[in-house]
Structure 1
Amino acid sequence: MRNETGPTQTARTTAESAPTSPTTPASASIAAMNQAIEERAARNRQRISAFFQWLLPPLFGLMLFTAIWAIISYQSEGLPGPIPTWHAAVTLFSDPFYNNGPNDMGIGWNILNSLERVGLGFGMAAVLGIPLGFIIGRFAFASRMAAPIIGMLRPVSPLAWLPIGLLVFKAADPAAIWVIFISAIWPMIINTAVGVSKVPEDYMNVARVLKLSEWKIATRILFPFVLPYMMTGVRLSIGVAWLVIVAAEMLTGGVGIGFWVWDEWNNLNVEHIIIAIFVVGIVGLLLEQVLTMIARRFSYE
């Protein structure tokens, strides 16, 4: 076998024997710094991209909605467009808390009064509905007993309860709170009961082995597991309560955003009615977002 030598073999030998430049601490530090800068820039690009993905679709939706609104208002004689409504909103919110008597108050006072009624009715529904949900989900006899009552009363329109409230309480405020209560209680009862019924049987077997009391079963086993279901019911209930109060106040009168809308209709202030629609929607959205964030803190996902 012949040992071949030539230019190629000589070049390879020279390249292999050539000394490599040593890596100094300064060059390693510069390389690490450059890598950190590149990673930070990549994270910033991802954040900017995520921000625009979060912002642009709702922004385009609002622009499309405003354009459709402007076209419809241009073709309709009585419907104000976005620009007149905006000017009316600027004037309206320049002094939202003026008070010239019970029937002439700023929109801020009306919103606060509506929120107060919603808070009272919603709070009473939570105090009664959540324990009832635990009982219905825990005991089969209670579930069978409550099923026909819930199935019959839950589909009833909330405003159908208003005459009963006026008859029993003899006043508009308690009647409106009663309507909120009876409308908001069903999601809390149903979601809490569903959560209790889905507790794994192994948990209950451990409770029986340890001979835990019903109170300890409810507080140490059921409550931590059911909490996400319960918070879902609470979130749904607040949406129903805020939806109902506007209609109830239109019928009962007094101070509140529903009565304010009806009063503006009687005065033919259509711009104010449109503003009230946006205000009601924004307040409802904020209430639901707050409860959604709270519910996520208790979610296992």
Structure 2
Amino acid sequence: MGAWYLLGWTVEWTRGIPFPLPPAVFERFWHFLQGELLYQSPVWEHFWMSLKRWGVGYGIALVLGFGLGVLCGRVSWLYGAGMQVGGVLQLMPGLAWIPFAMLLFGIGEKATVFMIVITAFGPVFVHTASSVRQFPQHHLQMARMLNLSRMRTLGMVVLPALAPSLLLGMRMGLAVGWRVLIAAEMVVGSSVGLGSAIIQSRWSLDFEAAFIAIGLICVVGIVSEKYLFGYVERLLHVRMGSAGI
């Protein structure tokens, strides 16, 4: 908080322009919570619409990434080509997909979801394919020797071995998907969403609204990264430790 005040006072002193300080931003946020509209829509509607697009796009990316990753990991002649495609997708900046999104879907919801899918897919696919490809086959042989059923083999042998790499791919896909969502809402999205609120605040010079939207974006990132995936990682470490993996 102190750094925020220091930055604001420095900008006002050096540039001679007002800088939104915490009291004004929090007071404005309280007004939004009380019903004041943020560009013709409640602030919670901007928030939930962004989460909805993110969830839909990320869910599609997970299904495609896991499915194609397992296929390429198990089929040798597909692995090389698939990993090259996945590597290229990871190197492509999210904003570079804007022309493709506009050509395929125009402006709106579908274009935004497409950009999330195409950017989140790469990390999920690459980590899934590589982990399946490198899975130690002697683990399966040991499971057969112990007469484990397919479900027990999957739950006790396969998933614990693949989980760290799969979780890393999911984490990376979630992060890049969230970042490109905000950029997509600014360019190809509809009039409702956190990214849309930020770009509209630019034209109206409503920097308090922009700070509020940025704050909500940070909250989502912190919760998903520190608490959601942090909890899953701790649970995984405990499970692997108890299993002696």
TM-score, length basis structure 1: 0.68
2: CA distance, partners of 1:66 / 1:100: 27
Counterpart among 113, 130, 142 of residue 194 in structure 1: 130
Deviation at 1:76, TM superposition (A): 2.3
The Cα offsets for residues 127-174 of structure 1, whole Å up to 9 and x where unpaired, read as 111122223333332211212222333211222222322322344101
Counterpart among 206, 210, 215 of residue 273 in structure 1: 210
What CA RMSD, in Å, does the superposition of the two structures yield over aligned residues?
A: 2.9
- Aligned residue in 2 for 1:75: 14
- Cα 1:194–1:79 change in 2 (3 A) is farther
- Cα 1:97–1:136 change in 2 (3 A) is farther
2: CA distance, partners of 1:91 / 1:99: 9
- Aligned residue in 1 for 2:235: 297
1: CA distance, partners of 2:151 / 2:64: 17
- Cα 1:65–1:88 change in 2 (3 A) is closer
- Aligned residue in 2 for 1:63: 2
- Which of 212-221 and 240-249 deviates more? 212-221
2: CA distance, partners of 1:124 / 1:187: 13
> Equivalent residues in 2 for 1:173-184 (5 A)?
173-184=109-120
The Cα offsets for residues 9-56 of structure 1, whole Å up to 9 and x where unpaired, read as xxxxxxxxxxxxxxxxxxxxxxxxxxxxxxxxxxxxxxxxxxxxxxxx
The Cα offsets for residues 64-118 of structure 1, whole Å up to 9 and x where unpaired, read as 45434432333222351424xx3233223333374869x5112221011000000
Counterpart among 233, 236, 239 of residue 172 in structure 2: 236
2: CA distance, partners of 1:140 / 1:206: 23
Counterpart among 194, 204, 228 of residue 257 in structure 1: 194
Structure 2: gaps of 5 or more residues: none
> Equivalent residues in 2 for 1:60-209 (5 A)?
62-64=1-3, 66-83=5-22, 86-96=23-33, 98=35, 103-206=39-142
1: CA distance, partners of 2:35 / 2:4: 32
Structure 1: gaps of 5 or more residues: 1-61
1: CA distance, partners of 2:59 / 2:182: 18
Determine which structure has more spread, i.e. the larger CA radius of gyration. Answer: 1
Same amino acid, percent of matched pairs: 25
Deviation at 1:214, TM superposition (A): 9.1
Is the contact made by 2:185 and 2:193 (CA closer than 8 Å) also made in structure 1?
yes
Deviation at 1:180, TM superposition (A): 0.4
2: CA distance, partners of 1:208 / 1:143: 26
- Which of 166-175 and 92-101 deviates more? 92-101
The Cα offsets for residues 192-226 of structure 1, whole Å up to 9 and x where unpaired, read as 23332443342144367789999987666422321
2: CA distance, partners of 1:191 / 1:230: 6
- Specify the code of the residue in structure 1 equivalent to 2:13: Y
1: CA distance, partners of 2:119 / 2:82: 17
2: CA distance, partners of 1:236 / 1:164: 22
Deviation at 1:188, TM superposition (A): 1.1
Q: Secondary structure at the match of 2:31?
A: coil
